[in-house]
């Protein structure tokens, strides 16, 4: 369905010995509007900007209240010849997303528990009820006829943490996690963040991601994963563990440079290089997210700089977060029109290149 991209169509494959040039894929995320005939106007603009796919957020609210509108939005995206990705935006708060979760308010047992016993407003990736909810979300996405499901920033709750000292508080020590830890190590789960607990947490995130990619493939869909670009006991630090998941197709990260990074090219280029190396090693497609929010007025050129840094490392799949500089949100770019114009110009330029 959909998925037709400029330069796409039947691939006869390169002659032996000549490296295949990956197809250019350019996307943008879209949310905040569930009025299909208005969305269609924006989708036309997205297509004109050079996008070959749209990452539509598919939140808990969408699942509960906006299914007919989502079906129309997915269909309209396909009709314009663009591929559709669906994003579990803020689902259980265990993925990225500036929106609320109803699940963690209604089903308290699904919440992560901190090392001091507090119930936290985020679902535990090990909890069977959360896994069950995610399966329902995957099935709903398949019914909407999406092309791909996008697993964005899977994480345990991220609490303040320094590299040189274990944090005072961490999660998750819910009964499910404690039982799993005991099964695997033969010992009760400590309340300190020991190296063993760190390794356990990372393994749990990898396993949950594998579970999601497998379930996605069982529905006949592709998976893409974005890992957070910083080291923490609540994220996946050894990216190769995720990149090698057999049912995963696209692997990437989101090295957003605001507000701390000034050397955009080297900052983004470093991550692009790592993504490309892992993607090549495990036969995946590497992709990069490009910051399109919180851009100060006059600094829109950093968008082009970041795209070029990724391109130079061989990345040919980019997506920007989000449409029109996130104009409706608090985290908007200062000059959303200039951000959109810059992104569009860079995307058009990529289309003009050969290889
Ligand atoms: Zn847990």
Nearest partner of 148 among 27, 42, 41, 253, judged by Cα: 27
pLDDT (tens digit per residue) in 123-164: 999 999 999 999 999 999 999 999 999 999 999 999 888 777
Predicted confidence at residue 60, as pLDDT, reads 98
pLDDT (tens digit per residue) in 62-110: 999 999 999 999 999 999 999 999 999 999 999 999 999 999 999 999 9
Predicted confidence at residue 43, as pLDDT, reads 98
Predicted confidence at residue 194, as pLDDT, reads 94
Cα 143 to chain center, whole Å?
Answer: 21
| Distance from the alpha carbon of residue 127 to the mean position of ligand 1, in angstroms | 6
Q: What is the distance between the alpha carbons of residues 104 and 83, in angstroms, rounded to a whole number?
A: 31
Contact 235, 205 (CB under 8 A): yes
Q: Is the pLDDT of residue 1 over 50?
A: no
Contact 113, 171 (CB under 8 A): yes
| Half-sphere exposure (Cβ direction) of 85: Cα atoms closer than 13 Å | 26
| Distance from the alpha carbon of residue 163 to the mean position of ligand 1, in angstroms | 23
| Distance from the alpha carbon of residue 206 to the mean position of ligand 1, in angstroms | 14
Which structure tokens are listed for 304?
């082009």
255's enclosing H/E stretch is: none
Predicted confidence at residue 20, as pLDDT, reads 52
| Distance from the alpha carbon of residue 29 to the mean position of ligand 1, in angstroms | 30
- The mean pLDDT value of the chain amounts to 93
| Distance from the alpha carbon of residue 248 to the mean position of ligand 1, in angstroms | 24
Q: Which residue has the tokens 């974005």?
A: 226
Contact 340, 49 (CB under 8 A): yes
Contact 89, 58 (CB under 8 A): yes
Q: What is the distance between the alpha carbons of residues 334 and 337, in angstroms, rounded to a whole number?
A: 9
Q: What is the distance between the alpha carbons of residues 240 and 244, in angstroms, rounded to a whole number?
A: 6
| Distance from the alpha carbon of residue 214 to the mean position of ligand 1, in angstroms | 21
| Distance from the alpha carbon of residue 44 to the mean position of ligand 1, in angstroms | 43
Cα 288 to chain center, whole Å?
Answer: 10
Does the domain made of 25-106+123-157+201-352 have the CATH classification 3.20.20.80?
Answer: yes
Q: Which residue has the higher pLDDT, 262 or 218?
A: 218
| Distance from the alpha carbon of residue 124 to the mean position of ligand 1, in angstroms | 5
pLDDT (tens digit per residue) in 263-300: 999 999 999 999 999 999 999 999 999 999 999 999 99
| Distance from the alpha carbon of residue 8 to the mean position of ligand 1, in angstroms | 43
Predicted confidence at residue 18, as pLDDT, reads 44
Q: Is the pLDDT of residue 21 over 70?
A: no
- Would you call the peptide bond into 322 cis, given omega within 30 degrees of 0 as the criterion? yes
Q: Is the pLDDT of residue 306 over 80?
A: yes
Q: Is the pLDDT of residue 197 over 70?
A: yes
| Distance from the alpha carbon of residue 178 to the mean position of ligand 1, in angstroms | 7
| Distance from the alpha carbon of residue 347 to the mean position of ligand 1, in angstroms | 42
Predicted confidence at residue 355, as pLDDT, reads 65
Nearest partner of 290 among 260, 313, 262, 310, judged by Cα: 310
Q: Which residue has the tokens 């197809």?
A: 23
- Three-state SS string over 270-328 comes to HHHHHHHHHHHHHCCEEEEEEECCCCCCCCCHHHHHHHHHHHHCCCCEEEEECHHHHCC
Task: Label residue 3 by pLDDT band (50, 70, 90).
Answer: very low
| Distance from the alpha carbon of residue 284 to the mean position of ligand 1, in angstroms | 30
Q: Which residue has the tokens 């010992």?
A: 187
Task: Label residue 169 by pLDDT band (50, 70, 90).
Answer: very high
| Distance from the alpha carbon of residue 174 to the mean position of ligand 1, in angstroms | 4
| Distance from the alpha carbon of residue 230 to the mean position of ligand 1, in angstroms | 22
Contact 323, 337 (CB under 8 A): no
| Distance from the alpha carbon of residue 107 to the mean position of ligand 1, in angstroms | 14
| Distance from the alpha carbon of residue 211 to the mean position of ligand 1, in angstroms | 16
Cα–Cα–Cα angle for 197, 199, 200, rounded to 5 degrees: 60
| Distance from the alpha carbon of residue 259 to the mean position of ligand 1, in angstroms | 32
Predicted confidence at residue 186, as pLDDT, reads 97
Nearest partner of 3 among 81, 87, 85, judged by Cα: 81
Predicted confidence at residue 168, as pLDDT, reads 84
| Distance from the alpha carbon of residue 109 to the mean position of ligand 1, in angstroms | 10
């Amino acid at each position: 369905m959909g998925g037709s991209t400029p330069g796409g169509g039947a691939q006869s494959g390169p002659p032996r010995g000549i490296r295949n040039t990956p197809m250019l894929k350019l996307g943008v995320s879209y949310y905040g509007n569930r009025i299909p005939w208005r969305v269609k106007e924006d989708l036309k603009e997205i297509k004109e900007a050079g996008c070959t796919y749209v990452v539509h957020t598919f939140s808990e609210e969408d699942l509960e209240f906006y299914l007919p509108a989502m079906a129309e939005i997915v269909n309209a995206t396909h009709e314009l010849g663009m591929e559709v990705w669906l994003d579990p935006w803020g689902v259980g708060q265990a993925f990225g997303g500036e929106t609320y979760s109803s699940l963690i308010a209604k089903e308290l047992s699904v919440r992560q528990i901190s090392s001091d016993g507090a119930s936290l407003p985020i679902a535990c990736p090990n909890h069977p009820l959360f896994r069950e909810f995610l399966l329902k979300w995957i099935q709903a996405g398949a019914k909407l006829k999406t092309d791909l499901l996008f697993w964005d920033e899977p994480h345990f709750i991220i609490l303040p943490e320094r590299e040189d000292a274990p944090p005072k508080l961490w999660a998750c020590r819910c009964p499910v996690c404690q039982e799993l830890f005991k099964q695997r190590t033969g010992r009760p789960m400590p309340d300190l963040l020991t190296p063993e607990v760190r390794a356990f947490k990372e393994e749990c995130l990898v396993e949950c991601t594998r579970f999601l990619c497998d379930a996605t493939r069982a529905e006949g869909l592709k998976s893409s994963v974005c890992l957070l670009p910083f080291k923490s006991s609540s994220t996946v630090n050894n990216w190769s563990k995720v990149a090698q998941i057999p049912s995963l197709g696209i692997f990437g990260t989101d090295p957003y440079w605001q507000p701390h990074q000034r050397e955009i090219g080297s900052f983004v280029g470093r991550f692009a290089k790592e993504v490309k190396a892992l993607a090549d090693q495990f036969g995946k497609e590497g992709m990069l997210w490009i910051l399109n929010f919180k851009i100060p007025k006059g600094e829109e050129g950093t968008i082009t700089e970041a795209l070029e840094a990724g391109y130079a490392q061989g990345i040919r799949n980019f997506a920007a977060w989000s449409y029109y500089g996130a104009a409706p949100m608090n985290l908007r770019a200062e000059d959303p029109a200039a951000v959109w114009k810059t992104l569009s110009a860079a995307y058009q330029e990529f289309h003009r290149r050969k290889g």
